[in-house]
Amino acid sequence: MRRITAKCPTVEVPTMARSTDDTMALPLDVHVMRAAARSLLAEHADLFSEEQLETLTLQLRAHLMLAIPVVEALADRFPEDDVPSACAYSAVMEARTRLGLEPRRSVAGRGAYAQRLARSVNALCDHYENLSGGQPVVLDPERAALLGLWNHCLGCETCMARDEEGGNAHLPCATADRLYQVYRRAWHSPASASAETRGRL
């Protein structure tokens, strides 16, 4: 199958402040995130052009990739029997599932997919505000590495390239490969704060 590349729209993410112990202090801009979600859940959402829909979908995916490790890190602070954190874990799992799905080729199918992403964005914003009080969250090395990988991929034309059927072309990217290896090393590290909680997900 012939593969083609496509230039993806620029997706802005909040500035990440790195601390001295290789973690990241990261706030979520819930106002920007909710605004993006609201545009897809409004009554006129079906009037978006294909290009506008693609741009909004990429923005929502970026917001979810940013919010998932942050909300997960917040939930890790609470006991296993804590109800709000358990609900947050469920929202994280659902968001991950939706990120892994491929939308249908039709405009209606892509619109429905984007709306599901928008609902997950809203849900994670709710859990972030409920668990953090709106304060910045410090991420452990594993999640910081994962976030670095995601941030690269979202802004990389090679990683975001599409084939002629609209799916990801899976083109090789040396930078993404290197960042993935950094993430794998952090994931296997005994110092990873989330290692004890993976079984809960």
Predicted local distance difference test score (pLDDT) of residue 31: 86
Predicted local distance difference test score (pLDDT) of residue 161: 81
Predicted local distance difference test score (pLDDT) of residue 92: 94
User: Which regions in the chain score pLDDT beneath 50?
Assistant: 1-22, 193-201
Task: State the pTM of this model.
Answer: 0.65
Predicted local distance difference test score (pLDDT) of residue 18: 44
Predicted local distance difference test score (pLDDT) of residue 7: 36
What stretch of H or E contains 18? strand 17-18
Sequence spans of domains, the chain: 17-200
Predicted local distance difference test score (pLDDT) of residue 118: 94
